[in-house]
Amino acid sequence: MSQADPKTASGWEEPTPTAILVLADGTVLEGYGIGAVTESAGEVCFNTAMTGYQEILTDPSYAGQIVTFTFPHIGNVGTNEEDTETVNAAASSGVRGVVLAAPISDPSSWRASRDFDAWLKARGIPGISGIDTRALTALIRDNGMPNAVLAHDPEGRFDIEALKARAATLPSMTGQDLVPLVGAAQRYEWDETPWELGRGYGRRATATRHVVAIDYGVKRNILRLLARAGCKVTVVPPTTPAEEILALAPDGVFLSNGPGDPAATGEYAVPTIRKLLDEKVPTFGICLGHQMLGLAIGAKTTKMMQGHHGANHPVKDKTTGKVEIVSMNHGFAVDTATLPANASETHVSLFDGSNCGIALTDKPAFSVQYHPEASPGPRDSHYLFDRFVEMMEKREPIA
């Protein structure tokens, strides 16, 4: 008798659980395995987006995390070879697992090239379905993002006590530098532009400005929008010294998104950024890059209770008074109270009032906490790339 048909001669029976999620406090959630047959561990967060699960699970900013989707129907449009956000499409983003309410259904999109379950298997990502994700989300909302172990075994054989012990001893996300897991290992050039229906991805023809992007775990669509804005894009590893970046004569520097504790990454990233700011190189940061800029000017970052993960976040641009609907993915935030006098808060979350953007008054630099390259608005925030280009155009190139 298969799991899909649990009826037996004695009546209806629950099928044997083939996956479990064990939280650090000893809570055990049973369900049915999907994806890779393996055991994985990480910090459990929830994402409220109704679409874009492939982009979410290939976003390097989720490295070290198990993603719980609040929307029940995940996997229903399958996967394809175009909606991957990791620069290396064959590599994992570092996400540790996925938690779903409903089982995966057959793909229903004309763009699908692979079933979601097969896609998870190919990437080595385990998952669990049949979970009360509303209850798990409420737990995270009230108590914070817990560490957990996710195990998938088709035979349903689990050493629960051992899993509890492992979950209880997992390290906190605080203090972890996860950028080395996802950042570039060597320099490369980028010229791909955004996808268009009937055309696919394009190529930048000419470039008017040279941008050096420091890769802490950059998403493809960020690089595409920089290329579309007419920028020659050179991507460099996260530990690249300021001297090497300046030697490339950039018109501007981009600080990318990425995972982990910004204070830990800042140990090597902040000195580089400070030197670039001293040279007054136009600088634009997104997500972790926003936090790196904040740390570089002397602000502090703090761990959030449940973080911001979703595509329905309202953010107010204080410079224009407009409200944008944005995508977010972060578990740390810049503490507004610690911003120095030469930094102004440009954007603020209308959910909780947390800082979502800063601009310096004495140097050409700004950043946002959210993802303007994503499309929940759908293009509410693309203007930020234009702001960056305008900032570069006002400055003489580095000799």
In this predicted model, what pLDDT tens digit does every residue of 48-70 receive, in sequence order?
999 999 999 999 999 999 999 99
Question: Which residues does the annotation mark as catalytic?
Answer: 287, 371, 373
Average pLDDT in the 277-297 region? 98
CA distance 375 to 326: 8
- In this predicted structure, what is the pLDDT of residue 378? 80
**H runs (alpha helix) in 176-259:** 179-182, 220-228, 242-247
- In this predicted structure, what is the pLDDT of residue 91? 58
Domain 179-393 in the same topology as domain 7-168: no
Proportion of the chain in helix, strand, coil states, percent, rounded to 5: 25, 30, 45
The radius of gyration computed from the CA coordinates of the chain, to the nearest angstrom, equals 22
Average pLDDT in the 237-247 region? 98
- In this predicted structure, what is the pLDDT of residue 13? 72
Chain-wide mean pLDDT for the chain? 94
Q: How many separate helices (H) and strands (E) can be counted in the chain? A: 10, 21
Which residues is 316 bridged to in the sheet?
Answer: 323, 348
Contact between residue 266 and residue 258 where contact means Cβ atoms under 8 Å apart: no
- In this predicted structure, what is the pLDDT of residue 399? 41
Binned at pLDDT 50, 70 and 90, residue 297 comes out as very high
- In this predicted structure, what is the pLDDT of residue 395? 82
CATH 3.50.30.20 fits 7-168, yes or no: yes
Angle (CA) 176 178 184, round 5°: 155
Q: What is the pLDDT of residues 112-161, one digit of tens each?
A: 999 999 999 999 999 999 999 999 999 999 999 999 999 999 999 999 99
**H runs (alpha helix) in the chain:** 53-57, 116-123, 133-143, 160-168, 179-182, 220-228, 242-247, 262-278, 288-296, 383-393
Q: Can you identify the CATH homologous superfamily of domain 179-393?
A: Class I glutamine amidotransferase (GATase) domain (3.40.50.880)
Q: Has residue 4 got a pLDDT over 50?
A: no
Q: Has residue 104 got a pLDDT over 70?
A: yes
Contact between residue 319 and residue 349 where contact means Cβ atoms under 8 Å apart: no
CA distance 34 to 129: 7
Report which DSSP code applies to 154. T
Domain ranges of the chain: 7-168, 179-393
